Structure 1
Amino acid sequence: MAPKLVSAFLLPPFHGSAMAPGLLSRLFGRRKLPPELRYEDARQVLESHQSAMKRELAGRADAPPEALYYLACDDDLKVRSLVAANPAAPAQANELLRTDGDAEVREELARKIARLMPDMPATERSALQQRTVALLDRLAEDELPRVRAIISYELAHCPTISRRLARRLADDVEIAVCGPMLKYSPLLSDEDLIEIIATSRVEGAVEAIAQRENLSMRVSDAVVATLDIPAVAQLLANPSAEIREETLESVIARAAGIEAWHRPLVMRTELSLRAVRRIATFVSRSLIDELANRHALDEEISLWLKLRAKAAIDRDTEGAEPQVARDTIREAYDAGRLGDEQVVEAATMSQKPSVVLALSLLSGVPSASIEAVIAAQSGGGITALCWTAGLSMRTALAIQTYIAHVPRETVVLPRDGIDYPMDEAEMRWHLQYFGIEMARRRQR
């Protein structure tokens, strides 16, 4: 906190003045400041060192600016917090409180300054307004996430802040800070959002983007491409999000083993009859009824869908994945057709035995070793296995997400959206960690 140095230029009446006769008793006999505050009243409060009176003065909108500047240096945390929250505090006091050692003071200041922005023009600002904007920029760099989060929350809908500030908050490493901007800020372009989707490692960031109003098809495509289950669920549940038919079909193709997508898929209004039929093969019977009612299907089609759904439900209750799925993998391998398409489809259907079989056939690695890598939730190990098997990095990402359920913070992501991010030496290291010796890499 700044030292208690009060400039004679700023506060000539407050420093070294004698109390007017009877003024002290008039003020402190009642223990409250009068409704109409005079300059002399404020001066006597500062000289009295009465905590309760200083707190009252610090919160008064009619307090002299010089008095509020003086109180910004007070030892009492509550006094400084009240000054920080007081709209009447001068710019000098606000700038002093920005570096206050107590988080509560900076939080109050951040809230106050941020709430000034919606009423401030984007251009032709006065010198005082420009000073306020500069102070806001510095507060947005505060080391404490709570301070930055307050600014983000207050400014999420504001169109008059700079795009630079909006993007800085949107790129923050804390979801409490970046989340409101990603969900609401009108200053983030589609290009900004797509770049953030591709690069952000903050859990919940893509979910926040998926909830934006009137999301464009381009951004929806980027959300789906992440294979982020909660984010895609939020996208499907967003009625104003525009989703291409091809993108929706790719979601449906992966949705059977992802229950979080079932209800929001059923609730989409733009489903084609083909999409309805496909969805009905894996959702619950209660959702089949809702699907039929919501999309005004005739009785014949509704009955057909219910029968298909019942067959799928009966199959699932029998226990394990159908043998036919593994047979399909082996047949594709024998015919030289086994590749990314079949493995991704098995992964997104949560068909773990089929994925393990495919990796084993393509890489020559024993199934038991592949099971060990998956059980360890090793993103690096799974990536190395897929590389050895000649599969794409996107397939590795699908297996990490749907089969191994690798924690988000340790998922190995593609470089530039498609490429493997590790070289051959790193791949071999991850395999050797699990006792796997790679004889040669299968060429695609």
Structure 2
Amino acid sequence: MSATAAPEVSDSAKRIAAEGSEAARVALAGGRDAAPEILYFLATDRAARVRAAVAANAATPQPADRILAGDGDAGVRAELGRKLAPRAPQLAGAADRRQRLGWETLNALVADAAVTVRRVIAEELKALPDAPRALILRLARDAAMEVAEPVIRHSPQLTEADLLALIADPPAPATLTAIARRPALSERLSDAIVSTGAVAPVAALLENRSAAIREAALDQVILGAAQHLAWQAPLVRRPVLPPGAARRLAGFVAEHLLEALAARPDLDTAVTRALRERVERRLEAPPPAGGQTPEAVFENAGLQGALSVMAEALAEAAGVPAAMVGRAVRLRSAKGLVSLCWKAGFAPRAATLAQTVLGQVSPTTALAPSPGGGWPLSESEMRWQLELLEEPEA
């Protein structure tokens, strides 16, 4: 027999294939020296375990694989995908008829209705440096995140342009979160995720320690963090914060995160001192006789989205009519809301909450606290803004 001749089919193999126990048929189907005729015969075996063993066998002929691609059991099809996916670089564009048949079979599995089949293929292809781009792009746009996420997060085949296209037109909301978790994310991709303002993706981006984020993007997130508490803790935990962003965060961060922020070694001395003073004031301050302070009521209402409670607390603390606060809200006056917080005796960080939550001012146009954590407007300008709000609307 020549070196390329097919293995001879023994009588015992025929007998096992036709009449053997399921365990014996599984062993026969998984044998690397099994004859193609036997594997082809077992590809239609009544037991899914046997067919799965045939699907996983590298010696199985392509026509049998083609049959198994239409098997009624998703587990069998998944085994076939697990075998064929690593061969994708060799199968794609091959001239050999058998390899072309294998490529067609793999593409059929990528389009399989069962998520488990597509997920297995995605896991096999996610880290291949020479995986066919057509398959990678198709898997990355899968609406099932069990399929898309492994490829989005790990495939070297996806370019920055590919990922920007996914951000612009995500097949599923969680697509953005998967991109945000990708290692070594570029500043351009981080900018694109921040610009969406989506809560979960931005939080995932902040938690991605290898992501490069520009200071301007961090500033936008810091302003939005007044409305989205989920952003504050990952901001405080960022491994590197530009000095400007750290100072702005220091003027805004929620009370329970003060100590963690004050412990950062990359803050300048003045900011650290101011933070520690805030921590000490919080620890030393006696509880108010009536429960929470007006500022605490205002901040807690803001974090819960209770706008009417925010407006009432602000008006009461500032000693102004409720209509005056309502006017600032209707006008979406960032300067007016900052000035009302100043008159109320609130800390500058409360003004960010007033603008982005109560006034629905965009984080991109909201006034951030000064670099030292102070008010963004001068006292004279804030007094003038309050006078404007006292005048009735035309």
Q: So what's the TM-score if we normalise by structure 1? A: 0.63
Which residue matches 1:59?
Answer: 30
Which residue matches 1:237?
Answer: 207
Residue by residue over 1:232-257, the C-alpha shift from the partner in whole angstroms, topping out at 9 and shown as x without a partner, is 01111112211121111111111123
Question: Do 2:219 and 2:245's aligned partners in 1 also have CA atoms closer than 8 Å?
Answer: yes
User: Aligned-pair distance for 1:259?
Assistant: 2.1
Which residue matches 1:330?
Answer: 327
Matched, 1:175 2:166: no
2 CA distance for matches of 1:316 and 1:201?
Answer: 41
Amino acid aligned to 2:327: R
Question: Do 1:216 and 1:242's aligned partners in 2 also have CA atoms closer than 8 Å?
Answer: yes
User: Aligned-pair distance for 1:298?
Assistant: 5.4
User: Aligned-pair distance for 1:99?
Assistant: 0.5
Amino acid aligned to 2:132: S
Which residue matches 2:71?
Answer: 100
Matched, 1:80 2:51: yes
2 CA distance for matches of 1:155 and 1:122?
Answer: 13
Instruction: Give the fraction of aligned pairs with identical amino acids, expressed as a percent.
Output: 37
Question: Do 2:185 and 2:212's aligned partners in 1 also have CA atoms closer than 8 Å?
Answer: yes
Which residue matches 2:157?
Answer: 187
Distance 1:274 1:46, change over 3 A: closer
Distance 1:348 1:140, change over 3 A: farther
Residue by residue over 1:43-93, the C-alpha shift from the partner in whole angstroms, topping out at 9 and shown as x without a partner, is 232243543321220122221122111100111222111111222211111
Deviates more, 1:58-67 or 1:126-135: 126-135
Amino acid aligned to 2:172: V
Matched, 1:116 2:87: yes
Matched, 1:90 2:61: yes
Amino acid aligned to 1:147: V
Residue by residue over 1:97-123, the C-alpha shift from the partner in whole angstroms, topping out at 9 and shown as x without a partner, is 0001111211111122123347x4877
CA root-mean-square deviation: 3.7
1 CA distance for matches of 2:100 and 2:354?
Answer: 54
User: Aligned-pair distance for 1:166?
Assistant: 0.9
1 CA distance for matches of 2:202 and 2:179?
Answer: 10
Distance 1:78 1:133, change over 3 A: same
Which residue matches 1:140?
Answer: 110
2 CA distance for matches of 1:275 and 1:329?
Answer: 31
Matched, 1:210 2:210: no
Question: Do 2:209 and 2:238's aligned partners in 1 also have CA atoms closer than 8 Å?
Answer: yes
Amino acid aligned to 2:186: S
Matches within 5 A, 1:9-408: 39-117=10-88, 120=90, 127-285=97-255, 287-297=257-267, 300-308=270-278, 315-317=295-297, 320=301, 321=310, 322-323=313-314, 327=324, 330-331=327-328, 338=333, 349-351=356-358, 354-355=359-360
Deviates more, 1:256-265 or 1:302-311: 302-311
Q: So what's the TM-score if we normalise by structure 2? A: 0.70
Residue by residue over 1:292-313, the C-alpha shift from the partner in whole angstroms, topping out at 9 and shown as x without a partner, is 33234455532312445767x9
Question: Do 2:91 and 2:99's aligned partners in 1 also have CA atoms closer than 8 Å?
Answer: no
Residue by residue over 1:263-303, the C-alpha shift from the partner in whole angstroms, topping out at 9 and shown as x without a partner, is 22112244233322221233345533332332344555323
Unaligned runs of 5+ in 2: 283-291, 302-309, 338-351, 366-394
Distance 1:152 1:254, change over 3 A: same
Question: Do 1:217 and 1:242's aligned partners in 2 also have CA atoms closer than 8 Å?
Answer: yes
Amino acid aligned to 2:248: R
User: Aligned-pair distance for 1:198?
Assistant: 1.8
Question: Do 1:254 and 1:348's aligned partners in 2 also have CA atoms closer than 8 Å?
Answer: no
Amino acid aligned to 2:271: I
User: Aligned-pair distance for 1:223?
Assistant: 0.7
Deviates more, 1:289-298 or 1:206-215: 289-298
Distance 1:317 1:303, change over 3 A: farther
Residue by residue over 1:174-211, the C-alpha shift from the partner in whole angstroms, topping out at 9 and shown as x without a partner, is 11111111111111122221121121251311110001
2 CA distance for matches of 1:308 and 1:329?
Answer: 31
Question: Do 1:277 and 1:305's aligned partners in 2 also have CA atoms closer than 8 Å?
Answer: no
2 CA distance for matches of 1:299 and 1:11?
Answer: 79
Distance 1:179 1:143, change over 3 A: same
Question: Do 2:183 and 2:210's aligned partners in 1 also have CA atoms closer than 8 Å?
Answer: yes
Question: Do 1:175 and 1:203's aligned partners in 2 also have CA atoms closer than 8 Å?
Answer: no
User: Aligned-pair distance for 1:224?
Assistant: 0.9
| Equivalences, count | 320
Question: Do 2:191 and 2:213's aligned partners in 1 also have CA atoms closer than 8 Å?
Answer: yes
